[in-house]
Amino acid sequence: MSFHPPRRTLMGPGPSDVNPRITEALARPTIGHLDPEFIRLMDEIKQLLQYAFRTENKLTLPISAPGSAGMEACFVNLIESGDTVIVCQNGVFGSRMKENVTRIGATAVMVEDDWGKVIDLNKVSQAIADNPNAKAIAFVHAETSTGVESDAAAICALAQQSNMLSIVDTVTGLAGVNVDVDGWGADAVYSGTQKCLSCVPGLSPISFSDKATEVIQNRATPVQSWFLDMNLVMGYWGEGAQRAYHHTAPINALYALHESLTILHEEGLEQSWARHRHNHQALKAGLEAMGLSLIVAEEARLPQLNAVSIPDNIDEALVRKQLLENYDLEIGAGLGQLAGKVWRIGLMGYSSNPSNVRKCISSLESCLMAQGVPLTPGAAISAVNKAYS
Ligand SMILES: *Cc1c(COP(=O)(O)O)cnc(C)c1O
């Protein structure tokens, strides 16, 4: 029997709601992956990704696997056994970076900050002073486990001044807040398609600076991953009409990515950031009207990922279950040390719109009232409406 998924509203940490224009693009006829028309599509995707990342890096393309593979691609290509990497950790994803570094046989020097806090620049400077021979500094720009945006420009500048490479996780950042690859001087960035690009999951846009590309081309040892070896991938995604078969690109998924990047280009980057911020403000007004608060300090909050403290005596898992079963609405649970302590409400990409904000606030209000929280029905929605007016 065919599988027919329920229709959900996706307001968790990803995937986000997929724009119907994108699912329609996905259903277009499959063509060969070396068809000249497909090569034209690949070239357009590279250009559109350069726009999204704000870069002129030639080595900018989507890895044929999810964001986690983009992370791995950056590490396995740039880092070799015996290298030292400064890894900043202020949430879940920094620990995965550490895992990537140690599995290569390199040393991870950890710079740790509390979950929910930004990466402390003084600690990064100290780690640089203590490890002047480190090859790279790796960090997460937008921590999806906590909803924190760290100062990517400043950390990349510290890396540049110390002649170290910067490796930046922009999976949740891209299209939701400013990701300025050339402005930051970032050397390697990776992202994902299912967060603020609102595309189907399973692809990872990445970009390497010329300096990083040179490092990849002049390695002492071959990249340990054959599939993610950019020296080989470049022959497939590289310039000119001549493309060497490396793997079969996920053709239809790339139609979808092209459509999602086209939608972003039509809207404009600045407009997309402004929309994310605007809907975040309205959500925040509704949450605060219910006595709920966000765990991240105002100046470091990501508009696309709202980590909300769970009030005392609330069965948080029951609330999520009721939202899903009664309202077809998915929000995220806390991860790692924030498990059971926060809900994560995503307003990513196509999901970032007023009707989703209203749906989330009114259904959350009902669930909280059902658990005995004394709220005035409709007060939270009034606060949302006021924020929009
Ligand atoms: C979602 C996410 C990833 C992993 O992306 P997948 O597509 O799930 O593999 C990596 N880093 C951050 C910050 C994320 O939010």
CA of 146 to the centre of ligand 1 (A): 13
Output the CA 338–ligand 1 centroid distance in Å: 17
Segment 369-372 long-range contacts (CB within 8 Å, at least 24 positions apart):
370/322, 371/313, 371/314, 371/315, 371/318, 371/319, 372/313
| 140 ligand 1 Cβ < 6 A | yes
Strands in 165-169's sheet, in edge-to-edge order, are 59-63, 204-208, 188-190, 165-169, 136-140, 84-89, 107-112
Determine which helix (DSSP H) or strand (DSSP E) holds 279, and give its type and residue range: helix 269-289
pLDDT score of 136: 99
The range of the structural domain enclosing residue 383 comes to 269-388
- CA–CA gap between residue 364 and residue 7 (Å, rounded): 18
pLDDT score of 194: 98
Cα distance between residue 223 and residue 228, in whole Å: 8
Closest approach atom of ligand 1 to CA 193: 7
Q: Is residue 345 assigned to a domain?
A: yes
Which strand (E) or helix (H) includes residue 109?
A: strand 107-112
Q: Which stretch of DSSP H or E encloses residue 256?
A: helix 251-267
322 and 382 share one domain: yes
Tell me what pLDDT residue 135 has: 98
**pLDDT for 238:** 85
In a domain? residue 32 = yes
How many helices (H) and strands (E) the chain has is answered by 14, 13
Question: Are 247 and 281 contained in the same domain?
Answer: no
Among protein residues, the one with the nearest Cα to ligand 1's atom 11 is: 171
Atom number in ligand 1 closest to CA 143:
13
| Cβ neighbours of 28 (radius 10 Å) | 12
pLDDT of residue 242: 77
Co-location of 141 and 235 in the same domain? yes
For 60, the 3-state DSSP assignment is strand
Residue nearest to atom 3 of ligand 1 (CA): 67
Q: What is the DSSP string of 320-388?
A: HHHHHHHH-EEEEEP-GGGTTTEEEEE--GGG-SHHHHHHHHHHHHHHHHHTT----TTHHHHHHHHHH
Single residue among 215, 242, 266 that ends a domain in this structure: 266
Whether residue 182 sits in one domain with residue 72: yes
Q: Is 7 inside a domain boundary?
A: no
Of the residues 220, 251, 266, which one is the last residue of a structural domain?
266
Is 373 inside a domain boundary?
A: yes
DSSP-derived secondary structure letter, 75:
H
- Residue 12 inside a domain? The answer is no
Instruction: Kindly state whether residues 331 and 310 are assigned to the same domain.
Output: yes
Quote the ligand 1 centre to 26 CA distance (angstroms). 22
- The pLDDT score that the predictor gives to residue 244 is 87
Q: How many folded domains does the chain comprise?
A: 2
* Mutation test residue for ligand 1: of 171, 172, 199, the one with most atoms within 8 Å of CB: 171
> CB of 72 closer than 6 A to ligand 1?
no
Residue that is last in its domain, among 244, 266, 288? 266
Write the pLDDT tens digit of every residue in 303-347.
Answer: 999 999 999 999 999 999 999 999 999 999 999 999 999 999 999
CATH code of the domain covering residue 284: 3.90.1150.10
Q: Which CATH number fits the domain that encloses residue 191? A: 3.40.640.10
380/364 Cα distance (integer angstroms): 10
CA dihedral 294, 383, 178, 10 (to 10 degrees): 80
Position 3 in a domain: no
C-alpha closest to that of 303 among 333, 332, 273: 273
* Omega prior to 5 cis, within 30 of 0: no
pLDDT one-digit tens code per residue, 138-194? 999 999 999 999 999 999 999 999 999 999 999 999 999 999 999 999 999 999 999
Task: Give the pLDDT of residue 150.
Answer: 98
How much distance in Å is there from the Cα of 92 to the middle of ligand 1?
A: 10
Question: Of all protein residues, whose CA lies closest to atom 15 belonging to ligand 1?
Answer: 144
Scanning the structure block, which residue is given the tokens 């790279």?
136
Cβ(172) – ligand 1 distance below 6 Å: yes
User: Which residues of the chain are under the pLDDT cut of 70?
Assistant: 241
Ligand 1 pocket test, pick from 75, 93, 96, 257 with the greatest ligand atom count within 8 Å of Cβ, gives 93
Residues 276 and 261 in one domain: no
Return the DSSP state at 143. Answer: E
